[in-house]
Amino acid sequence: MDLKYVGKDIPRVDAYEKVTGTTKYMSDLSFDGMLWGKVLRSIHPHALIKSIDTSKAKALPGVEAVVTWEDVPGLNGFGIAIQDQPVLCKDKVRYAGDAVAAVAAVSKEIAEEAALLIEVEYEVLPVVDDPIRAIEPDSPKVHESGNILLHTEIRKGDIDKGFDEADLIIENTYYASRQEHAFLETEDGIALIEEDGTLTVYAGSHYPHRDQLQLSRCLNMPVEKIRVVSSPVGGAFGGKDELTIQPIMALLALKTGKPVKMVMPREESIISYWKRHPMIMIYRTGVKRDGTLVANDVKVYADTGAYASLGGPILNLALESSCGLYRIPHVHIDGYSVYTNNGISGAFRGFGVPQVTFAMESQMDIIAEKLGLDPIEFRRKNILKKGEVAPIGHHITTDVESEAVLDAMEGSRLWRERERYRGTDKNRPWIKRGVGLALSWQGMGLGVGLPDFGDAVIEMDPDGGFIVRVGCVEIGQGAMTVYAQVAAEALRFPIERIRVVIGDTRNAPDAGPTTASRAAYVGGKAIFLAAEEMNEKIKGYASGMLSVSPDEIEIDDGSAYVKTAKDKRVSYEEISSYAIERGGLPVAEGHFDLPTADKAIEGAFGLPHHIYSCCGQIAAVEVNTLTGQARVTDGAVVVDAGTVINQGGLEGQSEGGFVMGTGYALTEDLIIENGVVKTPNFSTYIIPTSKDMPSSIETIPVTNYESTGPFGAKGIGEIGMVPTAPAVTNAIYDAADIRVFKIPATGERIYELLKQKKGENK
């Protein structure tokens, strides 16, 4: 197909506003008579609430409302999967940061002062801070129901037989840290009551329609009376998937009848909201002498913190990918998602998969070295292909470009020239260099048994242009641009005259969450289907205007003409006037159901997925053996992308993912001790800066046409950071002969490992 917009170098449609500072994020909005909200949070990680006295706060001049659990009109609970998190705690707090009360006042300062005047009497309870200890029967309980949120066990083949067949068995325990999203815009927004009584909530998130549903439950209001606007977002990465400040702002707005704005201070944001699950992963992997994998026994403990949110689905997605993209006949996977008083864990780019990929791809590297095999050859020998049985027992029935990804990794500049990047620095002999790689796969979409669809609407405007409406959000990934490109291509219409409206429950139809790498794929496909219907309508009008049958009409570049007589044509401006005279402008709808697997995996809700993305990465690392400091100097990202809709967007996701992954590998660790966050700001929680950026990152897309996606595209948003950590730690091994079992591989940890190695060698 001759494409005009898809795959072309199209500038982002939101570019002008973003570089001029005129983009209005939710935190930039203000309204007349607006109040400021402030939350009072628990300082205790685990305690009973004996009493809450708000009288002094209420008496402070300038305070217009103080709310507690008593003011929650509906269900005092939210959570995407399980609604066990109180909007405002009633009798118990489960983490330091749990919301207890909130204030609305005429200024931010008065609101802050008033919050401190609320008197809460606590009875402190013992803290549960170790997920393995938490599942012991005598552990204090975070929830009445016990500390196990989810236990999933999956068996395939006969694990004992598998280990009997193995010539080599490698057993290790891996630890992955708690990662903070560190989006630059914290959880901010405004809630207000419209003249007609509608509650409007402006707050950045991944899914306005689900926020609307959750708010409706908490506030006991019909969804039609709630409007949520959640786009554009100043970064999210999964951290704004679950509700954050929305219900509290809404309560304050309902109580006062005035607009209430809240802006989370950075420290409060870090302490109070979502994180990547820390995981403890015990792996036992069996392999034959010739490099054939025969058995994998995986045990995962995920620390989900105080509330459920997406802890269950995250565990299951992690388990699905826990054995890598490999053919392994005998598998036993045993996973626990466990409540603790360690903050709250939830969705984060990769959704559990970066953790297990760190473990599995470290195992692969160790085995390849022990058997003297090339790491790519070893993976190729075991790689899972379409039609084969995955580790959790289902057949892979869609294209996952596993072999092509390995081929492209092998062909990448960094791998071909890896000898140039290895060895000891001549001038600084304490600098050791190495190259490592890792491969990953991840299910796209929400999984079997879950509603997973997208709707889009295309309207012709009175000037003969188009408005495209789709409910996903712009979190920075470039969704609006992709939507404009897909619409322009499918409508065969100039992109400049297409306006994209997203992220607003009133003005855009439900297209599901902007998560799971699904927004471009699902939203794009729904737009494509709506465009097909619109084209038919346009042909219908043109046939009336030109007095020929619709079959004889062709459309291109904003006009419709008779195929056999191209000078007989009408412009879309003329069509729009014609349509208005006949009752109204054309509107078309597209609905797309994301294809799911035929059969579910028993005992593992949501599994399997049906479409997978695959990504391989290579990292070159230098380790300073005097200080322990490691830095990533070069990278290569190979991603199974389907058709590339926007090359700049793809590179942005791949480079951004890779750099976020290097942070996860080397520095990022949200430390919680006895339930208290020790790293609540950017001087203690260290994310990569421009100085930490590799000098090159080569992005290589594998562009097999995905038959179900818009113009053959597939999602790539999450996978870009999934294999980075093990690529980096495998490179550290290559450089300095030390194996990292705990990420991040901070300077201190590497220094200790180097010291241990020195001791062993003596």
Partner 1 sequence: MKDIILKVNGRKYNLRIDESMTLLKVLREELELTGTKEGCGEGECGACTVLMDGKAVNSCLVLACEAEGHDITTIEGLADGELLSDIQEAFIEHQAFQCGFCTPGMIMTIKGFLDENPNPTEDEIEEAIAGNLCRCTGYKPIVAAVKDLVERRGNDGYNR
Q: Quote the DSSP letter at residue 82.
A: B
Tokens representing 94 are: 């489960």
Give least dist CB 438 to partner 1, A: 18
Note whether 30 binds partner 1 by CB under 8 A: yes
Q: Which is nearer to partner 1, 16 or 430 (CB)?
A: 16
Site for partner 1 in 693-732 (CB under 8 A): 693, 697
User: Using CB under 8 A, which of the segments 140-148, 493-501, 573-581, 653-661 binds partner 1?
Assistant: 653-661
Least distance to partner 1, CB of residue 667, Å: 13
Binding mask 244-283 for partner 1 (x = CB under 8 A): -------------------x-xx-----------------
Using the structure block, give the residue that is written with the tokens 């053996």.
Answer: 625
Q: CB nearer to partner 1: give 691 or 762.
A: 691
Closer residue to partner 1 (CB): 271 or 331 = 271
The residue within the footprint of partner 1, chosen from 215, 228, 229, 233 (CB under 8 A), is: 233
Q: Candidates 169-177, 181-189, 407-415, 436-444 — which segment interacts with partner 1 by CB under 8 A?
A: 181-189
User: Given candidates 23, 292, 577, 708, which one binds partner 1 under the rule CB under 8 A?
Assistant: 23
Integer Cα distance of 461 and 36 in angstroms:
39
* DSSP state letters, 284-343: EEEE-TTS-EEEEEEEEEEEEETS-BTHHHHHHHHHHHTT-SB--SEEEEEEEEEE-SS-
Which one among 334, 461, 532, 651 touches partner 1, defined by CB under 8 A?
A: 651
Report the half-sphere exposure of 454 (CA within 13 A, side-chain side): 34
Among 43, 170, 546, 687, binds partner 1 (CB under 8 A): 687
- What angle in degrees, to the nearest 10, is found between the helix axes of 375-382 and 353-371? 110
Our CB check for partner 1 shows the closer of 220 and 681 to be: 681
- Which residue, 24 or 161, has its beta carbon nearer to partner 1? 24
Per rule CB under 8 A, is residue 659 in the interface with partner 1?
yes
One-letter amino acid for residue 280 of the chain: I
What is the nearest approach in angstroms of partner 1 to the Cβ of residue 659? 3
Q: Which of 1, 22, 290, 547 binds partner 1 (CB under 8 A)?
A: 22
- Does 182 bind partner 1 (CB under 8 A)? Our answer is yes
Contact between 146 and partner 1 per CB under 8 A: no
Beta carbon of residue 546, minimum distance to partner 1 (angstroms, whole number):
40
| b/e code 489-513 from CB counts within 10 Å (16+ = b) | bbbbbebeebbbbbbbbeebbbbbb
Q: How far is the CB of 714 from partner 1 (least distance, A)?
A: 19
Q: How far is the CB of 433 from partner 1 (least distance, A)?
A: 19
State yes or no: residue 541 binds partner 1 (CB under 8 A). Answer: no
Length of the chain: 762
Of the pair 348, 378, the CB lying nearest partner 1 is at 348
Containing 255, the helix (H) or strand (E) segment is: helix 246-256
Binding piece for partner 1, criterion CB under 8 A, among 339-347, 444-452, 651-659, 734-742? 651-659
Residue 61 sits in the site that holds partner 1 (CB under 8 A) = no
18 binds partner 1 (CB under 8 A): yes
Residue 660 engages partner 1 in binding (rule: CB under 8 A)? yes
Provide the token pair at 682.
């950017």
Kindly state the smallest distance separating residue 200's Cβ from partner 1, in Å: 19
Residue 249: CB minimum distance to partner 1, A = 18
Rounded Cα–Cα distance for residues 649 and 672 (Å): 35
Binding mask 475-514 for partner 1 (x = CB under 8 A): xxxx------------------------------------
Using the contact rule CB under 8 A, the part of the chain among 25-33, 490-498, 562-570, 616-624 near partner 1 is: 25-33
309 close to 274: Cβ distance less than 8 angstroms: yes
629 touches partner 1 (CB under 8 A): no
User: Strand ranges (DSSP E) for 643-695?
Assistant: 672-673, 676-677
Contact 40, 102 (CB under 8 A): yes
Structure tokens at 751: 């220094």
Which of 4, 8, 25, 151: binder of partner 1 (CB under 8 A)?
Answer: 25
Number of residues that bind partner 1 (CB under 8 A): 56
24 binds partner 1 (CB under 8 A): yes
HSE, CB side, 13 Å, CA atoms: give it for residue 94: 22
Question: 51, 547, 564, 690: which one contacts partner 1 (CB under 8 A)?
Answer: 690
Distance between CA atoms of 211 and 512, rounded to whole angstroms?
11
Among 445, 503, 523, 656, binds partner 1 (CB under 8 A): 656
Q: How far is the CB of 624 from partner 1 (least distance, A)?
A: 18
Residue 537 gets the label, from left (phi > 0), alpha (psi -120 to 50) or beta, of alpha
Judged by CB under 8 A, which of 146, 157, 494, 648 binds partner 1?
648
- Distance from C-alpha of 432 to C-alpha of 424, rounded to nearest angstrom: 5
By C-beta, is 69 or 682 nearer to partner 1?
Answer: 682
Q: Which one-letter amino acid corresponds to residue 334?
A: D
Q: By CB under 8 A, is residue 33 in contact with partner 1? A: no
185 is an interface residue for partner 1 by CB under 8 A: yes
234 binds partner 1 (CB under 8 A): yes
Beta bridge partners of 624: 431
- Is 11 a binder of partner 1 (CB under 8 A)? yes
List the helix and strand counts (H, then E) for the chain.
20, 31
Residue closer to partner 1 (CB basis): 8 or 56: 8
Please give the Cα distance from 113 to 92 (Å, whole number).
24
Q: Contact 722/14 with Cβ under 8 angstroms?
A: no
Candidate list 682, 737, 739, 757; residue touching partner 1; CB under 8 A: 682
By beta-carbon proximity to partner 1, the closer residue of 282 and 687 is 687
Pairing of strands 466-470, 453-460: antiparallel
Supply the minimum distance, in Å, between the C-beta of residue 185 and partner 1: 5
The residue within the footprint of partner 1, chosen from 681, 707, 755, 758 (CB under 8 A), is: 681
- Angular region, 410: left φ>0, alpha ψ -120 to 50, beta rest: alpha
**DSSP 3-state helix, strand, coil percentages of the chain (rounded to 5)?**
30, 30, 40
Q: How does 462-481 read in b/e, with b if 16+ C-beta sit within 10 Å?
A: eebbbbbbbbbbbbbbbbbb
Burial class (CB in 10 A: 0-12, 13-18, 19+), 740: buried
CB of 579 to partner 1, least distance (A): 33
Does 688 bind partner 1 (CB under 8 A)? Our answer is: yes
| Residue 573 burial (C-beta neighbours within 10 Å; 0-12, 13-18, 19+) | middle
Q: Of the two residues 695 and 761, which places its CB atom closer to partner 1 in the complex?
A: 695
Largest Cα–Cα separation, the chain: 93
Query: 3-class DSSP state for residue 656?
Result: helix
Residue closer to partner 1, measured from CB, 384 or 650: 650
Among 3, 19, 59, 580, binds partner 1 (CB under 8 A): 19
Interacting residue with partner 1 among 6, 14, 531, 710 (CB under 8 A) = 14
* 155: β partners: 332
Closest contact distance (angstroms) between CB of 661 and partner 1 is: 10
Question: What burial class does residue 1 get, using C-beta atoms within 10 Å of its C-beta: 0-12 exposed, 13-18 middle, 19+ buried?
Answer: exposed
Interface ranges with partner 1 (CB under 8 A): 11-12, 14-25, 27-28, 30, 181-186, 232-237, 263, 265-266, 475-478, 648-649, 651-652, 655-660, 681-683, 687-691, 693, 697
